[in-house]
Structure 1
Amino acid sequence: MTWISPAPARCFQAALILLYVSAGSIAELERGCPCDKPELCEPITHTPAKEVVGFVVNQDNWMKYNWTHLTTLMMFTDLPTNLMCHAHSLGVRIVLGGLNGFSVANLTNSTARSTWIKDQLALVQSSYADGINLDIEAPVKNGSLEQKLLTLFVHEVYQAFKSANKNYQVTYDVAWSPNCTDGRCYEVEKFADIVDFLIVMSYDEQSQIYGPCVASANSPLPKTELGIKQYLDLGISPSKLVLGQPWYGYDYPCIDVRPGDVCYIKKVPFRGVPCSDAAGSQHNYGSIRQLIREDHITVQWNDTFKAPFFQHQITNIMHQFWFDDPPSLSLKYSMAAQHSLKGLAFWNVDSLDYSDEPHGRKDTEEMWTAIDAFFSN
């Protein structure tokens, strides 16, 4: 997959994503369970001690995932019935993800909330999935009515799904820091008490740049650990926190490069801050590794951020790329283990090279193997 988007991942995630089952699958479902064994259409009942969650955005690669490392797949794309059957045969949950068309503006409308919840529950049931992942990232003011109603909404979703089936999983994606990051002033302590676990999206940490407008790491280890500690300092149990990590990087066109490889970038505001990572564009890990190989690029290591980067001239403009790789991710996976977190999550599992090209296959295997750092600490 070589998906490249000029918009940050948070914008993609916060889009109003409508999940659905393909027309062919609907016909199968109307005839009953589409799996060879009827029990595969039942929700997974066991709860793993640790979670390894993959966000899925492309339904073409799933047969090549490293399934031995996964406990849950969160679908941000169509759900093929054969994927569901295969996942359930391996004890892996399939959870429907995204905002699914619900707007924060509707929080004050109890009928709209109820209708949305019923529709999503029906969708999960009809596709034989295992629950829902809430990814509401709209700004909400601290102390506002919307803040209280969002917490109520999360509780209503949880109650509806657990009443339908106690084995359904309900989770919420939160920002890398609980301190009103990007204007998201959510009652995260209450969220943690309600849902099965929170996925801390420890990426796009440059979404609001308060210092010099320069390119930097997407998920630097010190900042990532700071965010996790802030959640723990609120009294949230580590067993309710899953560390989300990026399997992608950013390409920043430099408007000026100064000594020390300091790349000044264009000021692109985001939610009240004049500089953000929106000045760059996302590239998945597979395409970054391909660029490095084809152009014989030397990758450098920033020991402050514990992250790789490189500079590359494209059409007379110097670009600086920041990304994560197995060494940088292993450090953060180990950090998650040291804090006894519930698990790991990745945006997204389709960012790797699942082709049969030898170098790409090696890169992909190393990314999956890096997960072992979480379990070896």
Structure 2
Amino acid sequence: MCWSLTLAQVLAVQVLWIARGSAGILTRCLCKTPRLCGSLPADHQHQVEVLVFDIGGKDWKYYDWSKITTVVAFGRYDRELLCHAHANNVRVILKATIAQHNLINRNRRAVWIRKKMLLARRQYMNGINMEMWEPATPGSEYYHALSQLVGEATQTFHREIPGSQVSFNVPWSPDCADGRCYDYAAIANSCDFLFVMSYDINRRMVDNCFAKPNAPYNQTLGGLSAYINLGIDSRKLVMGIPWYGYDYTCQHFYEAGRCEMTTFHLNKLTCSFRVSRWIPYKEIMKRLPMSVTGRYWDDNHKAPYYIYMVNNTHHEVWYDDPMSISMKLSILKKLKLRGIGVWIGNSLNYSVNPEAAMQTNNMWDALKVD
């Protein structure tokens, strides 16, 4: 009778433990070693941050974990990924998009933040990476409310998840791209750092309709410098780099580097990124041997490109490779940035093909920041 009562009490505690987990407060650790579900030390910092965004799947098994400090996971939750990352002392943080309707009302902000914090804690994650895509104008209620939300989220995560990291994604330049005129200085002061998306720089082409690099060196440097000129500490900035490029269809092909595309007249733009196709690095490398030019290098933009043809139509592909990425690392050192980040880790070829393996290793090696 006594044994039955004791067993019932134990079972009741276990049921309560699992039930509390459904509310985001506590869940059973499913890692082989329970310590892998523990919080990272509050002082868990790196001299240089290396973030990798991951969209799901099992590519993470082949990442170079010696180079990574944080994985931003926004695919389906993967317990194995979290356990493996923690075994390598790497953070795994939640990715979240902020909607304007959650900004103005303080209670709505609190509910949104708590929901994200509980989700992260239930999954033993180590922070949150936030972004917002909706427009805002200086002085508007959204303008100030966004930095308030980021600050409140940072306080909540730091308090409830020891050693957690809170970051916010911003455009390549603070020049109100796409109407996103945010209070970037206030946001930077409100979180651990800004992740500067130094890619899609020519997403809105306004001067001419020729194919251009995804992340030209000079504009990358100029955009990051502009954030620093706002008074933001350079150690609050992480430079994002693309592991993908753009495949442009040429309406008129004059010569290499002069691929003219279809012109659109939308919102006073003479050209649009809609005439290009996003292409991951693994596909870029697969097509390179079939190009009519081989790899070309543009010294002005410090970026590679090549040309191929389909049904007598020229295509020009601009991308980043180990050489262009290594040159961007000089920006990190020149401006004394907090670190570098990759969009996205899944873009490389992780097959057993020897040539693909070498290309993939070279891209990871380009992230060496020592």
State the TM-score, normalized to the length of structure 1: 0.87
Q: How far 1:266 moved relative to its partner? A: 2.3
1:92 aligns with 2:84: no
User: How do 1:325-364 residues align onto structure 2 when only pairs under 5 Å count?
Assistant: 325-364=321-360
Q: For the structure 1 residues 184 and 85, does the alpha-carbon distance in structure 2 shift closer, same or farther, using more than 3 Å as the test?
A: same
1:301 aligns with 2:297: yes
Q: For the structure 1 residues 179 and 295, does the alpha-carbon distance in structure 2 shift closer, same or farther, using more than 3 Å as the test?
A: closer
Q: How far 1:111 moved relative to its partner? A: 3.2
Match of 1:243 among 226, 239, 245: 239
Question: In the TM superposition, what whole-angstrom CA distance separates every residue of 1:48-84 from its partner, at most 9, and x where no partner exists?
Answer: 1110000001321111000000000000201211111
AA matched with 1:213: C
Q: How far 1:327 moved relative to its partner? A: 0.4
CA distance in 2, matches of 1:159, 1:361: 42
Q: How far 1:235 moved relative to its partner? A: 1.6
Q: How far 1:206 moved relative to its partner? A: 0.8
CA distance in 2, matches of 1:269, 1:240: 38
Q: Which residue of 2 aligns with 1:220?
A: 216
CA distance in 1, matches of 2:265, 2:122: 42
Q: Which residue of 2 aligns with 1:176?
A: 172
Q: How far 1:122 moved relative to its partner? A: 0.9
**Aligned residues of 1:44 and 1:92 also touching (Cα < 8 A):** no
Match of 2:136, SS? coil
**Which stretch shifts more, 157-166 or 318-327?**
157-166
**Which stretch shifts more, 107-116 or 46-55?**
107-116
CA distance in 2, matches of 1:65, 1:145: 42
Match of 2:144 among 140, 145, 148: 148
**Aligned residues of 1:43 and 1:93 also touching (Cα < 8 A):** no
Q: Which residue of 1 aligns with 2:74?
A: 76
CA distance in 1, matches of 2:151, 2:264: 36
**Aligned residues of 1:107 and 1:146 also touching (Cα < 8 A):** yes
AA matched with 2:110: S
CA distance in 2, matches of 1:81, 1:274: 47
Q: For the structure 1 residues 65 and 260, does the alpha-carbon distance in structure 2 shift closer, same or farther, using more than 3 Å as the test?
A: closer
What is the Cα-based RMSD across aligned positions, in Å?
A: 2.0
In the TM superposition, structure 1's runs of 4+ consecutive aligned residues that sit over 3 Å from their partners are 267-274, 294-297
State the TM-score, normalized to the length of structure 2: 0.89
AA matched with 2:240: G
**Aligned residues of 2:39 and 2:162 also touching (Cα < 8 A):** no
AA matched with 1:89: A
Q: Which residue of 2 aligns with 1:62?
A: 60
CA distance in 2, matches of 1:201, 1:269: 26
Q: Which residue of 2 aligns with 1:126?
A: 122
CA distance in 1, matches of 2:131, 2:353: 34
**Aligned residues of 1:57 and 1:77 also touching (Cα < 8 A):** yes
CA distance in 2, matches of 1:351, 1:309: 17
CA distance in 1, matches of 2:215, 2:364: 18
- Structure 1 residues not aligned, in runs of 5+: 1-24
1:195 aligns with 2:187: no
CA distance in 1, matches of 2:211, 2:93: 34
**Aligned residues of 2:209 and 2:262 also touching (Cα < 8 A):** yes
AA matched with 2:33: K
Q: Which residue of 2 aligns with 1:289?
A: 285
Q: For the structure 1 residues 142 and 327, does the alpha-carbon distance in structure 2 shift closer, same or farther, using more than 3 Å as the test?
A: same
Which structure would you say has the larger RCO, counting Cα contacts within 8 Å and 6 or more residues apart?
1
**Aligned residues of 1:312 and 1:318 also touching (Cα < 8 A):** yes
Q: How far 1:37 moved relative to its partner? A: 1.9
Match of 2:166, SS? strand
Percent identical pairs in the alignment equals 34
Match of 1:63, SS? helix
Q: Which residue of 2 aligns with 1:210?
A: 206
CA distance in 1, matches of 2:193, 2:331: 18
Q: How far 1:273 moved relative to its partner? A: 3.7
Question: In the TM superposition, what whole-angstrom CA distance separates every residue of 1:4-45 from its partner, at most 9, and x where no partner exists?
Answer: xxxxxxxxxxxxxxxxxxxxx98xx98611112222112222
CA distance in 1, matches of 2:100, 2:128: 17
Number of residue pairs aligned between Structure 1 and Structure 2: 346
